[in-house]
Chain A
Amino acid sequence: MSLSVAIRHSFAGFALDVGFAAPAGVTVLFGHSGSGKSTVVKAVAGLLRPDAGRISVNGRVLLDTASRVSVPVHRRGLGYVFQDGRLFPHMTVQGNLTYARRATGDRFDSVVDILGLGRLLDRRPGALSGGEAQRVAIGRALLSDPAMLLMDEPLAALDAPRKAEILPFLDRLCSESGVPILYVTHAVAEVARLANHIVLLENGRVLRSGPAAQLLADPALVPHMGVRDAGALLNARVVAHHPDGLTELAGPGGPLFLPGVSRAPGDRIRVRILAQDVILTRTRPKGLSALNILEGTIRTMHHGDGPGVVVQLAVDDEHLLARITRRSAETLELATGQTCFAVLKSVAVSQVDIAEPAPNP
């Protein structure tokens, strides 16, 4: 385990009692605002001292209130990317990047390259766009050679185009830097794209902690993800780019056709399929405009309070979620164990939902 956290802290009107262990890779702390995510990251960084608890990173104890250990912030060796960037306004980008004493040599060149900062080095933070500033902040944290990178909603202050601009850099960062990351967000799209492991927080408690694919495919957690944002991950391999603009993927249960995926044939990717974009049929449909039809078996059905039902479908050894109405489920007489077909419109999947496959740490 690269990170282990067990802390208790109380504010006026709010009590936090959180315990989890995270493997290497990208761990996402997910929850609504006020669930305590930021408090946890601040405690890990040492910016907040919890009432009681123990925190260790890669086996090194950073906090242990029982034995009165509390390593000061500047000796923890963790990188922190703040939501608001917090670049030093009186220094150039170069000055910001090299602020940490360990920021030297070839690491500098490779980080500048990964994050595309070459053209910005002489600028001042006041002359950067929001997205550029955040990339510099990420680079600055990386260059301090951290044992772990803490990212507290790094994209929350950016608009959608700026987010889309940064996400590919984050992808590369996660897969190439090898630094474990603790990533805080309340955006499911970021969870689905970046997470290997998810810690779901609610009202200061850990609701669930587990592998990303498993939690995202759990119908019972759909209300926590948000019914419009919930969706399972499918692993697939790029087969070919067709001249009509579609990319053919080899996925579970057969070929998938998606609009132009910017990856080379042979690349493995993971695709997030939103539960609300999936249509279920009992028999293999014919004469349909939708290109993707996956055969699967119903594993579980989750009834919420509203008119909807979330169906978890096993397709080969992977899972798909479909959100349909209770009325449809009754008309089709859907039940656990039945075989049915998931229909997915190609255009429903956007580039934002495509990411690197989860590494197996």
Chain B
Amino acid sequence: MAFLGPDEWQAVALSLKVACLAVAASLPFGLGVALLLARGRFPGRHLLNGIVHLPLILPPVVTGYVLLLGLGRRGPIGGFLESAFGIVLAFRWTGAALAAAIMAFPLMVRAMRLAIESVDPGLEEAAATLGASRLRVFFTVTLPLILPGVIAGAILAFAKAMGEFGATITFVSNIPGETRTVPSAIYAFLQVPGGEASALRLVVVSVVVAMAALVVSEVMARRVTARVAGR
């Protein structure tokens, strides 16, 4: 890519990798939580809702620090993961993906939840009276109707994951080639003399990705409305 220098391209490629893993790994959980919040009637629903939205409100540094405390190599969960499975998250790109996934989770869940709430539960009842099991109802009625919403949520989460900074830099630092994603790279370029041009090119990349994600997710959200209306 002629537009970007090798360092810059490395940051963009890493951000893409981190965002892809973050979205892919959190998608099933996001869908599950969105279903629980939209359809579930259980004690603690509001608590779950609050916890999901917490990363949206908390300073990202706090989220990153909590991750470091819990999942660092000396943290209770991090220590267990390393001794039992040899998995290390702190200061690795997989850790960056985890931080990005958690920060993007509220956006993903919100888009999916709105799509699920727009589906008439009566359609699911109708499918059940026709002999469909819960699983078949989900895959033949619910999922097709909310699919555009699921895609919209995934795209929003992807864009958010691409741009996550505070929690990432706190949890996995800013290691070139390992955890230096686009925002970390912009920050790093701004710290050195003559880095403004590189920073600006990455800013352009960030703006384009964010705009594209917003447009596509908006189109998908309209598709949900059209699908549910049967047009």
* Partner-B contacts on A (CB < 8 A): 45, 47, 72-80, 82, 84, 86-90, 99-102, 124-127, 140-141, 144
Contact = CB atoms under 8 A, between A and B. Distances in A.
A84 B122 contact: yes
Interface in B35-53: none
Nearest to B125: A47
| Interface magnitude class on chain B | 20 to 34
Contact of B131 (A84, A88, A100, A124): A100
B20 interface: no
Given A88-B141, A89-B145, A100 B122 contact: no
Interface string B109-152: 00000000000101101111111111001001100110000000
A79 B128 CA distance: 10
Nearest to A143: B130
Nearest to A137: B126
A184 B93 CA distance: 62
Interface in B47-83: none
Contacts of A99: 127, 130, 132, 140
Interface stretch (B5-13, B164-172, B185-193, B223-231): B223-231
Given A77-B131, A99-B130, A140-B130, A86 B123 contact: yes
A292 B125 CA distance: 50
A73 B122 contact: no
Contacts of A79: 129-130
Nearest to B140: A99
B129 A78 contact: yes
A72 B129 CA distance: 9
Nearest to A76: B129
Contacts of A127: 230-231
A183 to B, nearest CB: 16
19 contacts: A73-B129, A74-B130, A74-B131, A74-B132, A74-B133, A76-B129, A77-B131, A88-B126, A89-B229, A90-B145, A100-B131, A100-B132, A101-B131, A124-B230, A125-B230, A127-B230, A141-B129, A141-B130, A144-B129
A128 to B, nearest CB: 9
A80 B127 contact: no
A297 B161 CA distance: 87
Given A87-B230, A89-B145, A89-B228, A144 B123 contact: no
A125 B231 CA distance: 7
Contacts of B126: 80, 82, 86, 88
Interface of A is mostly: loop
A84 B125 CA distance: 12
A50 B127 CA distance: 21
A204 B41 CA distance: 27
B227 A45 contact: no
Given A74-B130, A126-B229, 12 more contacts: A47-B129, A74-B133, A75-B131, A79-B130, A89-B228, A89-B231, A90-B227, A99-B140, A100-B131, A100-B132, A101-B131, A125-B230
B130 A86 contact: no
Nearest to A92: B230
Contacts of A89: 123, 145, 227-231
Query: Max chain B CB contacts within 10 Å: which of A47, A80, A86, A101?
Result: A86
B144 A73 contact: no
Contacts of B228: 89
B131 A86 contact: no
Interface string B196-231: 000000000000000000000000000000011111
A80 B123 CA distance: 12
Nearest to B133: A74
A88 to B, nearest CB: 6
Contacts of B229: 89, 126
A102 B131 contact: yes
A80 B127 CA distance: 10
Give 4 nearest A-B pairs by CB, closest first: A89-B230, A126-B230, A80-B129, A125-B230
B168 to A, nearest CB: 39
Contacts of B231: 89, 124, 126-127
Contacts of A84: 122
A181 to B, nearest CB: 15
Nearest to B137: A74
A140 B132 CA distance: 13
A34 B187 CA distance: 66
Contacts of A47: 125, 128-129
A47 B121 CA distance: 12
A90 B128 contact: no
A144 B131 contact: yes
A6 B120 CA distance: 30
B160 to A, nearest CB: 29
Contacts of B129: 45, 47, 73-74, 76, 78-80, 141, 144
